[in-house]
């Protein structure tokens, strides 16, 4: 899973053009939105599109499970691992 965590962190940095952040700066279990990394809803859309493109998963923002999956790098990795 550590490899997937790193892949997701790299994807976040690349998809959202976070030039001043490295993979080491993103905590695996820290929140991605508001607290933690501080992403917003536009970032969520861009990240969702990047995940769809890289992993072939379609994500729905209406789904409560999906909102939980986007909580942190760890929860996102668990979702990707379970659904690819």
Q: Are 32 and 70 in contact (CB under 8 A)?
A: yes
pLDDT, position 46: 94
Q: Are 8 and 57 in contact (CB under 8 A)?
A: no
Residues constituting the chain = 84
Mean model confidence pLDDT for the chain: 92
Q: What is the per-residue pLDDT across 33-73, written as a single tens digit (0 to 9) for each?
A: 988 899 998 999 999 999 999 999 877 767 787 888 999 99
The token pair at 36 is: 């933690």
Q: Are 39 and 16 in contact (CB under 8 A)?
A: yes
59 compared with 4, residue with greater pLDDT: 4
Which band of pLDDT confidence, cut at 50, 70 and 90, is reported for residue 84? confident
Query: For the chain, how are helix, strand and coil distributed in percent, rounded to 5?
Result: 60, 0, 40
- What gap in Å lies between CA 63 and CA 8, rounded to an integer? 21
Q: Are 5 and 77 in contact (CB under 8 A)?
A: yes
In this structure, of 17-26, 36-45, 73-82, the range with the lowest mean pLDDT score is 36-45
């Amino acid at each position: 899973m550590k490899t997937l965590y790193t892949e997701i962190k790299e994807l976040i940095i690349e998809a959202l053009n976070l030039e001043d952040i490295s993979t080491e700066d993103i905590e695996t279990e820290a929140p991605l939105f508001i607290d933690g990394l501080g992403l917003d809803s536009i970032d969520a859309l861009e990240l969702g599109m990047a995940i769809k493109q890289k992993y072939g998963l379609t994500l729905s923002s209406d789904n409560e499970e999906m909102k939980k999956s986007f909580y942190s790098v760890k929860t996102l990795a668990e979702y990707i691992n379970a659904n690819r």
